[in-house]
Amino acid sequence: MTENYVSVINLEKYQPGYKDRTLIWCKTYFTMINGDPEFEMLCEIDKWRLIAFIMLELQIKNPVPLNPDYLRRKGFDLKKRPISLTLQMLHTFVKCVTKPLHRVEKSRVDKSRIEESRIEEIRVEKKEVPVKIKGFKKPSIEEVKEYCIARKNYIDPESFIAFYESNGWKVGRNPMKSWQSAIITWEKRDRHSNNNSSRGGGVVL
């Protein structure tokens, strides 16, 4: 059986290697919106549909089916604007293709892609999101040294780095949010220690 499909022209050029991996985002370019006169002349519906075609083709790694039921499930309001008119207006951005498609094979492929997509979402939730929330980057010895010189303290950068490397860059039980704040805390500790020493008292840390 054959079905009609739409494929974005030069998609591989702007999204290299998309068929070999599962993407969690797609690239769009400012020049398309601000510098392409053909894109600027499109109505809002056709602009959105072009972006949708790009995202769908990247997701399914195949040309997008021009099946009315499929398109409606993906948010296309075909009553508001016929898809044939959109394709006519997008003729410089997309092309229509016809290829053989077996229903059973398509079902299996779609299920596999859904599972791959969910696995990728779980991976992002577990690994990437916490890093963004923390927003912490370990400093180098040179960064600590420069900061200590600027604050005119006597903290040893190597000792500072070694201490927090040994405990996984934590303050108490919590992950460190700012190494600069930790240095300020060390300064206060040192001042407190020096003051007690000058009074004849000893402090064990």
pLDDT for 205 beyond 90: no
DSSP bridge partners of 3: 99
Residue 197 pLDDT class (50, 70, 90 cuts): low
Nearest to 185 by CA among 167, 165, 196, 171: 171
Range from 16-25, 65-74, 159-168 carrying the lowest mean pLDDT: 16-25
Give residue-wise pLDDT tens across range 50-63.
999 999 998 888 89
Dmax (CA) for the chain in angstroms is 93
Give residue-wise pLDDT tens across range 93-109.
999 998 644 443 444 44
Measured CA distances, 92 to 28, 63, 96 (Å): 17, 16, 11
Q: Rounded to an integer, what is the distance from CA 157 to the centroid of its chain?
A: 34
Residue 35 pLDDT class (50, 70, 90 cuts): low
Q: What is the mean pLDDT of residues 11-35?
A: 75
> Which residues, 6+ apart, have CB-to-CB distance to 148 below 8 Å?
154, 155, 157, 183
What pLDDT does residue 146 have?
93
Q: What percent of the chain shows pLDDT beyond 70?
A: 72
The pTM of the full predicted model, rounded to 2 decimals, is 0.46
* 202: three-class secondary structure by DSSP: coil
Where exactly are the structural domains of the chain?
Answer: 2-105, 141-196
Whole-number Å distance between alpha carbons of 159 and 157: 5
Question: Are the CB atoms for 78 and 71 separated by under 8 Å?
Answer: yes
